[in-house]
Amino acid sequence: MMCGITGTPGTGKSSVAEALAQMGSPVLHLSDSISRYIIEVDEERDTRVIDEERWAAEFVPVDGFVEGHLAHLLPCDRIVILRCRPDILIERLQRRGYTDKKIRENALAEALDVILIETVDLFSPEQVYELDTTDKSITECSMITDQFAKGEIPASFGTIDWSPYIGQIE
């Protein structure tokens, strides 16, 4: 069983994955698997461009969790989309030292449900769980993620609406 943990940068993917690993779950950080698929570095956007199709096609599924903002492109059995209110996401990305342009791009992606839309286009409804991390602890988020992966809680998505924040993102 492979469970993906995806979401916009800053939503808590790495922290939740680390907590799951500390609980004894196998975790693969997808950033460790993309180096040979980088086709260019986009300096203007401060990002690496990878050959996503080739990467996903050549990815060997694992038993456990796969964590990264592209996890939803893999053949996961279940997928958890971590979400964070855009104003809080902006604060998190500022603390990481992201450029203003990169912060805006990611906050808008979160407010516009970009990863959610991509995910629900690729997976059946019973495979998807959307988790608002804004006011939850890492422990709580990791426990919910683990419960969904084990089938102990039902799929759920489509209840988070960050669209009122779109006009506030500068």
Average pLDDT on 125-149 reads 98
Average pLDDT on 144-161 reads 97
> Which residues 6+ apart lie within 8 Å of 139 measured at CB?
19
What pTM value is reported for the model? 0.92
How do residues 2-52 score in pLDDT, each as one tens digit?
Answer: 999 999 999 999 999 999 999 999 999 988 888 888 787 777 766 777 788
Domain ranges of the chain: 2-168
The four Cα atoms 45, 47, 52, 58 give a dihedral, to 10 degrees, of: 170
> Which residues 6+ apart lie within 8 Å of 147 measured at CB?
153
Domain topology for 2-168: Rossmann fold (3.40.50)
